[in-house]
Amino acid sequence: MEYSTSEISSRFISAAYQLLEKIGEGGFGHVYKAKHVTTGQTVAIKFLTLSPEFDVEKKRRYIDRFERETELVSRLKHPNVVRLLDKGRDDDERLYAVFEYVEGLTLKDMLRESGALSPIETADVMAQLLDALVHAHEKGVIHRDLKPANIMLSKIGAKIHAKILDFGIGSLTKEA
């Protein structure tokens, strides 16, 4: 389960998914844009990355955190929360999770590139995010890391659509 970023793209072999390009990385995962081979659907695959320097306990915590993230997202069925489509281990025992691919920019990048949203756009985006959080809280899921980098904005037609990403440090408050 220990591997570098370059090893992911060169050694991940799957009959279901073809990696296209690396699109992000975080504290314990690398994310790739990929294609589902049979449907042609574009997806995002998040791989758990473990450093060889990690002791057994730290590796276990990262694995548990990755598993918790997929469990939390699988509970949520909301148009403003990224959907989990699949998860598994490849032949090298690398853990991965397959999410819907959301075309667009993070709120962080959009604010940096274009400045503040208009008041109307801000109200609409906030309404979408708050509705998604209400849904998550009804399912007992707390995000715990909601920030502009974890909100993806895409424009479909004339409207901005927001999606909450990355439940990596989320928690479960109750069994739902």
* Residues labelled as active-site residues: 145
DSSP state at residue 117: P
Please, are residues 168 and 26 in contact by the beta-carbon 8 Å criterion? Answer: yes
| 3-class DSSP assignment, residue 157 | coil
Q: What is the DSSP string of 47-112?
A: EE-B-TT--HHHHHHHHHHHHHHHHHHHT---TTBPPEEEEEE-TT--EEEEEE---SEEHHHHHH
- Residue 12 parent element (H or E): none
**Residue 160 and residue 157: Cα distance in Å, rounded?**
8
